[in-house]
Amino acid sequence: MVKSVTNLSRSGLSDWLWQRVSAVIIAAYAVFIVGVLLANPDMDYASWQALFQTTWVQIFSFLAVLAIVGHAWIGLWTVATDYMKPLAVRFIFLAILGVTLFTYLIVAGRAIWGA
């Protein structure tokens, strides 16, 4: 058993499962958004805003954001532990990544539920 404190879930199996589940969520959301845009070529701001006022679109959108944040952390954590051997370099990279993803989460939440 190799010990690790910086991966998402402490368990390799959970990380692996969440990476796959989040990939499916992101793919489904991408298909949804592209589908909406293709089905409504004359989409204006009012109808776009109305779409995002519906509860299930808000839930789906935030779920997709959560999936991207988790997926990005697992993937980039893996890249960092492969290629960044000096601990300080890796720690700084992961700290910047963490702050970026957290910011992304807050900004996305505000965009979805804000005024």
Q: Is 87 in the site for another protein (CB under 8 A)?
A: no
Place of tokens 């992304």: 104
The yes or no reply on residue 82 touching another protein (CB under 8 A) is yes
Calculate the CA dihedral of residues 38, 42, 46, 48 and round it to 10 degrees. Answer: 10
Decide: is 12 part of the binding site for another protein (CB under 8 A).
Answer: yes
Are the beta carbons of 15 and 21 closer than 8 angstroms? no
Candidates 14-22, 41-49, 52-60, 105-113 — which segment interacts with another protein by CB under 8 A?
A: 14-22
Out of 27, 31, 37, 83, point to the residue binding another protein (CB under 8 A): 83
Would the CA dihedral through 115, 32, 101, 15 be positive or negative?
positive
Residues at the contact surface with another protein, assessed by CB under 8 A: 1-4, 7, 11-13, 15-17, 78, 81-83
